[in-house]
Amino acid sequence: MKLQNIKSKIYELRGHRVMFDFDLAIIYEVETRILNQAVKRNIDLFPKDFMFQLNKKEWEKMSSQIVMTSLRKRPKTALPQAFTEHGVIMLANILRSQKARKTSISIVRAFILLKQMAIDYKGLSDKISELEKRFNRQFADVLEAINYLLEEDKIDKEQQNRRRIGY
């Protein structure tokens, strides 16, 4: 599966980047129920920071954003599992197929790419803030000079409009 396709299946939820069990099942070319059965058989390998189940409210919010191919693949009452980057790697270990191992590499690369993009975004954001500060200071000097010239011009006009007294 292409890196771009995998990247589009990574979501932000509860402060983690996650992939859902039904997307991982498609990527690993297994049924969702098979994937979840393998997880249940090895639940000790999936602590809370590797995997968690969505609550009903989260699932309703997410399912409105995700176009599902078939309702038969997931009944509305069945809440999906969300796997963090570490959980996705662990899945490759418990599925044990060659396809799972190769796919795991692509998924890890997608997570790394997203991390790099976030770092680059932060760096770019910091640079923009620095430029704004610098140019705002320069702009403040220009604004001050313009105001000074306007005041000076105003004073000159007032003096010209005065009626001369004396000589």
Residues 6+ apart with CB under 8 A from 129: none
Distances (CA, A) of 100 to 21, 88, 92: 14, 10, 5
Residue 52's domain comprises 3-121
pLDDT digit string, tens, across residues 113-142 = 777 777 777 776 677 677 667 766 666 666
Ranges in the chain, pLDDT < 50 = 69-72
**Edge-to-edge, what's the strand order for the sheet holding 16-20?**
11-13, 16-20, 81-83, 51-53
Does a structural domain hold residue 109? Answer: yes
- Please state the domain count of the chain: 1
CA dihedral (93, 96, 102, 106) in degrees, to 10, reads -40
Residue 70: the pLDDT is 44
Task: Look at residue 139 in the predicted model and tell me its pLDDT.
Answer: 64
What separation, in Å, do the N-terminal and C-terminal C-alpha atoms of the chain show?
94
pLDDT of residue 83: 92
Does the pTM of the predicted model rise above 0.85? no
In a domain, 130, yes or no: no
Domain contains 78: yes
Domain assignment present for 17: yes
Q: Are 54 and 44 in contact (CB under 8 A)?
A: no
Give the pLDDT score at 51. 92
Let me know if residue 93 belongs to a domain. yes
Q: Is residue 10 part of a domain?
A: yes
Q: Which of 61, 91, 87, 59 is nearest to 75 (CA)?
A: 59
Question: Which amino acid would we find at residue 125?
Answer: S
- Residue 88 belongs to some domain of the structure: yes
Which residues 6+ apart lie within 8 Å of 140 measured at CB?
none
**Tokens for 124?**
């770019």
CB atoms within 10 A of CB 7: 16
| Number of residues in the chain | 167
For residue 54, being part of any structural domain is answered with yes
